[in-house]
Amino acid sequence: MLELRNISCSLPGFNLSEISFSVAKGEYFILLGESGAGKSLLLEAIAGLGQVKSGSLILDGKDITHEKIQKRMIGLVFQDHAVFPHLSVKENIAYPLKGKKLSNSQKESIITETAFLLQISGLLNRKPSTLSGGELQRVALARALVQKPKILLLDEPLSATDSKLRSELRALLRQINRSGQTIIHVTHDFDEAVSLADHIAIMNQGRIVQAGTPLDVFGNPVNAFVAHLAGIRNFFKASIAQHNGTNIAIAGNDVSIVIGDYTKNSSGFILVRNEDILVSLEPLESSALNNFQGTVLDIFPARSGMEVLIDIGIILHAQISSESAAKFKLIAGKKVWVTFKASSVKLITSE
């Protein structure tokens, strides 16, 4: 098991502050954050390539904070693969085995097995300059795996791949993890995080802002940043009040939204998922308590259907089908009604 205790690192103009989390044996752990959040720096610190200013790194009960890189038994696959260009694929994979107390036949069989697992058996005699990005990624993974690392660190492993290759590589990473390999994987991609992670930690500006299972983290985002990463665009600061027995959140410039939850805190955040907002041309007769008239600001294609930005005093993002957008002839400037239930508004009070 790997444990990070209050790890701080500093580079000119950037700091990693008080990073703490633990990764259990066999776990798939994802560090999610935007570019510049400090994710790669943290990976390098774990691998021993970056200087740790304070805090400690404990691997299987042993303090490795100041252990030599080559003695840590931590594998790192770089974003740009870092496959040695002057060595063949086989020589690359064999690189970590040199100096190990293994016979030549044992080394051969490790290389053959690993190449088979990563489906690169046919590439062993090729030079890296003749390989595609996906093939280089597999070679880099094979090379890191032959040394049987206690932890495998992956820096944005799927960022430079097309969607077909990405799903193949995801399946491969799951397979490697299922064979018992502990993995810490850095990414900025929400879908990638959700599809692979047992546990997830969100990084922003050199800090961990939230950690837990994907369900915990994205079901209960602690702040606007995490909500934004999870694709939730309707996230507003609000003051909370009770009015005639109804719980009200006042967001933006005096927009009163009925909410289901209540807290004694006088302020917090509210979030509404895009897909929970209904758009209509006339006010709807329904049980929903939140009905507002607003103006369409923009409409554009989203991953599924269309995303509509509607100004009701605050700017709401709604998700509608392309058919509905065509039927309502939605364009910027058009007046529409938005409807959502009080129970679809989530209240978050811990920023």
Task: Give contact residues for other proteins (rule: CB under 8 A).
Answer: 44, 47-49, 69-70, 74-76, 78, 80, 82-86, 95-96, 98-100, 127-129, 143-144, 147
Whether residue 146 contacts residue 96, with contact meaning beta carbons closer than 8 Å, is answered with: yes
Report the alpha-carbon distance of residue 93 to residue 145 in Å, rounded: 9
Minimum distance from residue 102 beta carbon to other proteins (Å)? 13
Minimum distance from residue 110 beta carbon to other proteins (Å)? 14
Nearer to other proteins, 68 or 329 (CB): 68
Nearer to other proteins, 55 or 96 (CB): 96
Minimum distance from residue 120 beta carbon to other proteins (Å)? 17
> What contacts 145, CB < 8 A, 6 or more positions away?
75, 114, 117, 118, 152, 176, 181
Minimum distance from residue 106 beta carbon to other proteins (Å)? 16
Minimum distance from residue 69 beta carbon to other proteins (Å)? 4
Distances (CA, A) of 214 to 2, 103, 137, 181, 192: 20, 44, 26, 20, 11
Minimum distance from residue 95 beta carbon to other proteins (Å)? 5
List, edge to edge, every strand of the sheet that includes 74-77: 74-77, 151-155, 182-187, 28-32, 199-204, 207-212
Report the alpha-carbon distance of residue 318 to residue 233 in Å, rounded: 9
Residue identified by tokens 């993890």 is 177
Report the alpha-carbon distance of residue 120 to residue 250 in Å, rounded: 58
Nearer to other proteins, 62 or 98 (CB): 98
> What contacts 327, CB < 8 A, 6 or more positions away?
none
Nearer to other proteins, 62 or 86 (CB): 86
Beta bridge partners of 29: 184, 199
Minimum distance from residue 82 beta carbon to other proteins (Å)? 4
> What contacts 73, CB < 8 A, 6 or more positions away?
59, 147, 148, 149, 150, 151
Nearer to other proteins, 126 or 341 (CB): 126
Nearer to other proteins, 147 or 223 (CB): 147
Nearer to other proteins, 152 or 277 (CB): 152
> Which three-class secondary structure state does DSSP give residue 18?
strand
> Which three-class secondary structure state does DSSP give residue 329?
coil
